[in-house]
Chains A and B, each alone.
Chain A
């Protein structure tokens, strides 16, 4: 009896362990279209970007599975196949994310991966996606280097826009608004995003308005939170305009502290990621603050059946308006769905990954932000316009809206293939089609 018992326990343990490892293989054959969704669920980027984007994914996936979307997305799921998601936290650095990506591909056997806010993560994941032949859709990261370093992509796509477009658009908006623009101050988070944003913006503004002086360039640490000295330095330098690519809590703190000290009383300020806090400023931001949404997303999204539906559905589940990260995630999922269904695979089946990648390349599809053309980076990068507008808060209703909105087409603000943003700006935006 003792001998039997002593054999049962290790056997049971081994069996349980083997079932645990077998589970992903069994789950992969459940006939569902499995998408790995990677976004920040912890850390500083979770609140402003990660959580809204995940909420956007949940709203869209649930609605797709119930067949509730308006045309042309009324086919249930993806190609009639129910969608299931495997959610991964993007926090933890690029090395960890590569490991997680491999897990998604090899253990969870996902059919596609959608995600990535951090440019560092996108740059690390792209070659791995190509190696593992996994259709991967980057929905938010803005690094210009993505397709400069991955010159011949097959499986990597980006439905979000290059960050250079944010800053070219911002420069055009400032010049077109007719504001006094003799000097500009900069305050950026001191890492690649901040440095690149300022480099693109300062080059663009110099092209569009030669002779603009740089009053001061402030580079506080990421997540510093306190900007007293920086605000004083900017005030003392007396710029006409302030440019910032701050995001998240840093952006909210800058606006709060700056407004309390009258930083924005005598000058305009442009926040390229400002729309993500449109409903959070609650009147603490001054009217006239210029906000961007990294594309035609969020409050800048056009009114069409898809965007109207998405706003209503998102508000219904989350009790707040969807901001641009939610829109961008929805766009990525819709792009993937359009690509899969374009392969011509029989409804109810999942096409091969190679076919999905082929179909996604150069795709045009309808989205919550209008029509998206995958028309850059050889058909792997979305081409869309960008919009900026001024914050306007109505104290009576407690609602914030955007006034004096200007839209710039993709052809106006996007470098063509074969050149980098820096070279294109320096050459004076050759070939740009701006109305």
Chain B
């Protein structure tokens, strides 16, 4: 029974992290049809920004420790806004009419550039800012003990998922965005400022990626290459769920998170394979992903 509880709770924690990482990626693809390979770099920049700011805060003296959570949030928002605007206005807006494959290559080049830029700015030494992680204490369930920070991340990802769904489905802006998603050309014809929607969407997607990084930073040692590691997982989740679908990202994250948790507890030797096994299985049965739509090709 303990193992079952462990599998469920670990699965939920990992799924919530996966959703936080993948949400921005799927939002950007859903609206802009850009498979953003540089998403991992935004995660990495968010992590470094959060870790730097929190590290500076605690090194500075006796500030109230709970302010560190606001600092993490602030760092993510600032990093996401800055990088998102820079990339969208400085590069992507000139490329929107290009082929989707070309956009993948462009964003891959961006990933490489941002990886090196991150090293130049933050150096190669790992950043270890653990204070926010241990501040919330721990909770025990029998033999199992969990950090309250990890449990809080579940709540954060639920909030973000709910916020994304509400905005898309219950606001006017969301309706306009759904119109752009369904048919960009008609949306333009109806007077929607698609360029502005794209810019806003890209910044939101970047900020979500940076937020995932900033919230993860207190639990890890932030070091070069974390963005590249994360992008592969993020792709697996959004591909399982269906590119462009928030509901798909939620279900994809849950599926991948729980499956991986089962493997870790019961068959750790196949843990690496199992995520991609799930992805292959889903794609074999439903190539557009669980919540993806079959799109008719326009000629």
Contact = CB atoms under 8 A, between A and B. Distances in A.
A252 interface: yes
Interface string B194-232: 000000000000000000000010011111111001000
A392 B89 CA distance: 52
A226 B138 contact: no
Interface string A5-49: 000000000000000000000000000000000000111101110
B272 A256 contact: no
A130 B136 CA distance: 57
A238 B145 CA distance: 13
Interface residues of A, number: 43
B1 to A, nearest CB: 10
B268 A284 contact: no
A318 to B, nearest CB: 11
A235 B221 contact: no
Contacts of A230: 264, 268
Contact of B2 (A223, A229, A236, A253): A236
Interface in A101-129: none
B225 A44 contact: yes
A248 interface: yes
Interface in A205-230: 216-221, 223-226, 228-230
B192 interface: no
A44 B269 contact: no
Interface in B257-299: 260-261, 264-265, 268-269, 271-272
Interface in B44-74: none
Contact of A249 (B13, B134, B150, B220): B220
Contacts of A404: none
Interface in A240-279: 248-250, 252-253, 256-257, 259-263
A280 to B, nearest CB: 6
B125 A219 contact: no
B178 to A, nearest CB: 33
B6 A232 contact: yes
Contact of B219 (A46, A220, A226, A233): A226
A245 to B, nearest CB: 16
Contacts of A224: 229
B271 A220 contact: yes
A260 B224 contact: no
B220 A253 contact: yes
A341 B128 CA distance: 43
A260 B265 contact: no
Contact of A42 (B2, B124, B260): B124
A150 B56 CA distance: 49
Interface string B137-156: 01010011111011000000
A194 to B, nearest CB: 12
Contacts of A228: 10, 13-14, 150
Task: List 4 tightest A-B contacts by C-beta distance, closest first.
Answer: A249-B221, A252-B221, A229-B264, A46-B124
18 contacts: A42-B124, A43-B224, A44-B223, A46-B125, A48-B126, A190-B271, A217-B268, A221-B229, A223-B226, A226-B219, A226-B220, A229-B14, A232-B9, A252-B126, A259-B134, A260-B147, A261-B146, A284-B130
